[in-house]
Amino acid sequence: MNARKSALSNISNAVRNYVEKNAPYNVDTEFGCDTFGLKALEQRLSKPIYTKLLETIDEGAPLDQRVADDVAHGMKRWAMERGATHYTHWFFPLTGASAEKHDSFIEPDSHGGAISRFSGKNLIIGEPDASSFPSGGLRSTFEARGYTAWDPTSPAFIKRAGGVATLCIPTVFCSYTGEVLDKKTPLLRSIQVLGVQAKRLVKCFGIDKDHVIPRVTLGAEQEYFLVDKSLYIQRPDLMQTGRTLFGAPPEKHQQLEDHYFGSIKPRVLSFMDDVDRELWRMGIPAKTRHNEVAPAQFEIAPVFEELNLANDHNMLIMETLRVVADRHGLVCLMHEKPFDGVNGSGKHNNWSISVDNINLLNPGSNPHENAIFLTTLCAIIRAVDLHADLLRATTASAGNDHRLGANEAPPAIISIFLGEQLTDIIEQIEKGGAKSSKNGKILKIGVDALPSLPCDVTDRNRTSPFAFTGNKFEFRAVGSSQSCSSPNVILNTIVAESFDEIATALEKLPKEKFHDGLQEILKGIIKKHKRIVFNGDGYDGSWVKEAAARGLPNLKTTPEAIKPLMNPDNRKLFAKYGVFSEGEMESRYEVSLEEYEKKIHIEAELTLNMANTIIMPSCIEYFGKLSSALASAKSAGLPANPELKARALELSKKMEKLSKSCSALKSKLRGTPAQKLEAMSKVREVADELELIVDDSCWKLPKYSELLFVY
Ligand code: ADP
Ligand code: MG
């Protein structure tokens, strides 16, 4: 039996004894027990110190040494009580992953023993070597020093892996000279910028208390695949690139639509349950779990939270999925397109902003709230139309290129879905005085109430990349493996710019002209930017043509899609708001491009390697079988068997084609990514044909039908 066959038989013979979780789950003691959040802080700090810390967390007041020392002391004791011996500053370099470097609390004393120590300085600042992280040219290698600095707005937590508890302290990461080398800093900056402009905007509507607190929120739905680990380790492509570079689509995959929301298999449910419990320990409000569209595809969604925290939590969700999967003999694939021919995985980025507990994207129940809502809506329409290319740029990656526009995910064209009712309202505003709207009514902003917009009515269209869904926008182009940071940095900043623009105009209006003036401003925005609104089927081919006619960009591959990051106007915009310096924005471009090129190159080399060392040998083995059958038939004096001979000939022809396509790929290894991708697809095409004619017992690579259905 070959390794593939024995792995399959082991999986089917495995006896799984699931642990019954009969004990009631105690939310009070178990949820968040591994986060050093406000509750734990209050318990462990003196009242004045706690109050001072709250000023830092809520208002960004500078942290004094005394407070830091007390917090550090309390945090260390709390962590050690939970079994931690080490702490780490936990940060997000431009690799898109999270990074950590552990230090123990242990310090030798002068008597040959040791004490545990963790100071305010240890808490606030760290100095990891930055030289091996991508910087896109921002940091020269001779100046390797990098800094991590505590982000007090995201609570420290205990991460448990391999039975080891580690205290993790969320931090930002920058270079010695202050350039940003991470994904958290720009996110924090952009949240602040949007908050400032949102406060200005609502002030125009009379919301002007001393402490209006803006809150940008994110709920990130996370899709993923699960495959059995013993099959996974026989797929070098999954191991090294996260996606299958070979594999003929099985006859049955997702056509019958029998997986979506189907009953969850016991092995998967047991995994999901462990994931939820681990997330809850860390204070992550995991809420929804279900089967997704493709076989072996699933989704997890937490309840939305403040954006910075939600982003940290999404990073932890991805890590927890991977770690827990391993314990269950499974592997969690976060790649955007692990399997050709079935759905890929995305991350639905549900985004909203509220000020003083009023969700600006909630239509509300009176004309005043409606006016704020419609203004926000128009600001977003303007922002997305002006900067669709930047939003697209943040979702560009080698993985997501395979998913966007693949008849299952939103196309690479950015457009906004508003739904029929809201579109009608927008059209009424555009027409201003005309009586030609759907129900003959003219909406006077700030005077008339909106008809109530039931949430479910607005969420029928799943094909739009940027959809209004009741009280939030859902950005669906984000890839499953991507950090939510960059898309939200862009979204926050472009919406802040629109708020700024509108607030500047509103601030100039005399009080008695406010509503008429507002109506005119919104009318102007809609006239100019409504081309971005599209309520039709985003998967339909006709949309590509129509979008082109509307002048909307359709940037299909990463190298084109990230170019807007280099556009001088875009760079000036981000510099103006202090979110990215021009150099920082350029560095993001460099990092994205380099990562893209490296990934494609790895895929190209691996395609060659697998074709030569796994696929061709499978073919040779089968060819040997056929040839010896032919030879023995001949020596037994049997008449020539046309079937045998035809098979051997077909096989031999395809093997030759495989060799030729491999040579062609080899000659393109120094070529452009596009040339490599093209040559790789030729190798794959013939390899997948071979998979369908080679004796199943000779085939070494686990097949799609096995990866997707055997778990
Ligand atoms: P679906 O899109 O699958 O229908 P839901 O509408 O239930 O799912 O919500 C998806 C996500 O949106 C959840 O994480 C939810 O908490 C989040 N969400 C709901 N309201 C907001 C909001 N105001 N801001 C940000 N996210 C939100
Ligand atoms: Mg959704």
Determine the atom of ligand 1 nearest the C-alpha atom of 221. Answer: 14
Cα 151 to ligand 2 centroid, rounded to whole Å: 29
- Residues touching ligand 1 (Cβ under 6 Å) are 217-219, 221, 301-304, 348, 350-352, 359, 469, 471-472, 474
Determine the atom of ligand 1 nearest the C-alpha atom of 471. Answer: 23
Q: Is the pLDDT confidence value at 152 over 50?
A: yes
Tell me what pLDDT residue 436 has: 42
Q: Which of 298, 463, 472 to mutate to test the pocket of ligand 1 (most atoms within 8 A of CB)?
A: 472
Residue whose CA lies nearest to ligand 1 atom number 17: 219
What percentage of the chain has pLDDT greater than the value 90?
78
pLDDT tens by residue, 163-191: 999 999 999 998 877 888 999 999 999 99
pLDDT averaged over every residue in the chain? 92
Residue whose CA lies nearest to ligand 1 atom number 3: 221
Q: What are phi and psi of 281, to 5 degrees?
A: -55, -40
Cα 411 to ligand 2 centroid, rounded to whole Å: 17
Q: Is the pLDDT confidence value at 445 over 90?
A: no
Tell me what pLDDT residue 58 has: 82
- The span from the CA of 150 to the CA of 72, in Å, is 11
Cα 221 to ligand 2 centroid, rounded to whole Å: 7
DSSP string, 549-604: HTT--B--SHHHHTGGGG-HHHHHHHHHTTSS-HHHHHHHHHHHHHHHHHHHHHHH
Cα 254 to ligand 1 centroid, rounded to whole Å: 26
Q: Is the pLDDT confidence value at 434 over 70?
A: no
Ligand minimally distant from the alpha carbon of residue 346:
2
Greatest alpha-carbon pair distance for the chain in Å reads 106
337-348 average pLDDT score = 95
Confidence of residue 538 (pLDDT cuts 50, 70, 90): confident
Determine the atom of ligand 1 nearest the C-alpha atom of 218. Answer: 25
The SS3 call for residue 125 is strand
Cα 348 to ligand 2 centroid, rounded to whole Å: 6
The model's pTM is: 0.95
Q: Is the pLDDT confidence value at 540 over 90?
A: no
pLDDT tens by residue, 393-425: 999 999 999 999 776 777 889 999 998 888 988
Q: Is 228 exposed, middle or buried (0-12, 13-18, 19+ CB in 10 A)?
A: buried
Residue whose CA lies nearest to ligand 1 atom number 6: 469
Determine the atom of ligand 1 nearest the C-alpha atom of 219. Answer: 14
Cβ atoms of 685 and 665 closer than 8 Å: no
Q: Which of 222, 306, 349, 350 to mutate to test the pocket of ligand 1 (most atoms within 8 A of CB)?
A: 350
pLDDT tens by residue, 453-483: 655 555 567 789 999 998 999 999 999 999 9
Confidence of residue 435 (pLDDT cuts 50, 70, 90): very low
